[in-house]
Amino acid sequence: MVFLDNAATTKIALDVKKSMDICEDFFYANASSVHSAGLEAMKIIEKSRSEIAQALSCSPEEIFFTSGGTESNNWVIKSLIEMKSDKKKILTSKIEHPSILEPLKWLEKNFNYEIVYVNVLESGVIDLLDFKNKLDESFCLCTLMHVNNEIGSIQPIDEIGKFCKLKNVLFHTDACQSFMKLPINLTQMPIDFISINSHKIHGPKGIGALFISSKVKISPFLHGGGQEMGLRSTTMNTAGIVGFGKATELLKNFKHTKKISELSFWLKSELLNKFNDCVINNDGKEVLPNILNIRFNNILGKDLFWRLNKEGIFVSTSSACSSNKNTPSRVLHEIGLSEKQNLESIRVSISVDTEKDDLKIFLNALEKIIKNIGE
């Protein structure tokens, strides 16, 4: 199979799998137990916490393990209710992941919050002028993603964070698509909350984290036995956490980004050379190269998707969450694509596991499919 859907998830790295096997075999004690076996399990959990904290240049005490990006995003948004602040305005964009947009809608409906959407430019980057015009001291939270999952556009989270600080507004960023792909240095970036997950970086599924700045307070997400400093109770997922830490460690020198950039550049030029009708939807400067969003004139993305699928080549029609719904992508709509262009689009996403031969197989299949469709 040729897996070109790495923005949806990635294959677990062999060394990650090995580190998890060791956990299951030897460190299976409940990490909250005070006997030596429990303490040993807690020790390796704390090593992973430190590894992840180091990657973000923050303190290990600011990393809280969760079940993934969705939970981290929900936690930040839902914790606003207990803050009981008089400020009830939240700034976001319409290109956020559903795990941001849906809880926001829920807050709006059930707790009378006002959700304000910042304009997004054709590049997929927010309009900073509009952002600065809209955000003021009456907002309690600004939540804007670091990298978009459908088009890879990169938001200037440094500048956004600094402006939020100026206006005394909490700033959260969903960094599930950028963690270990772009450096995030929290000693220099004023950010209050960051959501990350493991399965986008060749770690296991079902584990993520929320960075909570020591300068801010947040209410517990799960009440119970008091794990994670009383903020998220449940027996610790030792193997998942260790796998997440290992996956982070394996990518810490960022060498993989060079391979991904080169492959992406090559694929883009091959697509444009081979296919007159191919358009790159996300051809801007502020885009992470692992995601290519492309379309072919007069060919439905879903037709390409299913024909590639038949050849054992896996891409996505938009985001993984909505690709089975066969509706136009909300994100592509926001950056100005017509409904026709939107439905013609597919997302091809690569990772450090992708080889040039995979891309050659994809290009050959694409050539064959497009020729067949045209006949």
Ligand X SMILES: Cc1ncc(COP(=O)(O)O)c(C=O)c1O
Question: Which residues participate in catalysis according to the annotation?
Answer: 321
Half-sphere exposure of residue 104, counting CA atoms within 13 Å on the CB side? 22
For residue 111, the one-letter residue type is: F
Assess 176 for contact with ligand X (CB under 6 A): yes
Choose the binding region for ligand X from 85-93, 172-180, 216-224, 326-334 (rule: CB under 6 A). 172-180
Assess 197 for contact with ligand X (CB under 6 A): yes
190 versus 206: smaller Cβ distance to ligand X: 206
> 145-182 burial, b for 16+ CB within 10 Å, e for fewer?
bbbbbbbbbbbbbeebbebbeebebbbbbbbbbbbbbe
Among 173, 177, 345, 354, binds ligand X (CB under 6 A): 177
Judged on CB neighbours under 10 Å (0-12, 13-18, 19+), 78 is middle
Among 10, 74, 149, 318, binds ligand X (CB under 6 A): 149
Assess 99 for contact with ligand X (CB under 6 A): yes
Assess 240 for contact with ligand X (CB under 6 A): no
| Positions in 66-85 near ligand X (CB under 6 A) | 68-70
CB of residue 290 vs ligand X: minimum separation in angstroms? 12
Judged on CB neighbours under 10 Å (0-12, 13-18, 19+), 330 is middle
251 versus 366: smaller Cβ distance to ligand X: 251
Q: How many CB atoms lie within 10 A of CB 30?
A: 16
Contact (CB, 8 A) for 89 and 140 = yes
Choose the binding region for ligand X from 160-168, 171-179, 236-244, 274-282 (rule: CB under 6 A). 171-179
How many angstroms separate the first and last alpha carbons of the chain?
Answer: 27
| Positions in 202-221 near ligand X (CB under 6 A) | 208
CB of residue 177 vs ligand X: minimum separation in angstroms? 5
Residues that bind ligand X (CB under 6 A): 68-70, 97, 99, 145, 149, 174, 176-177, 197, 208
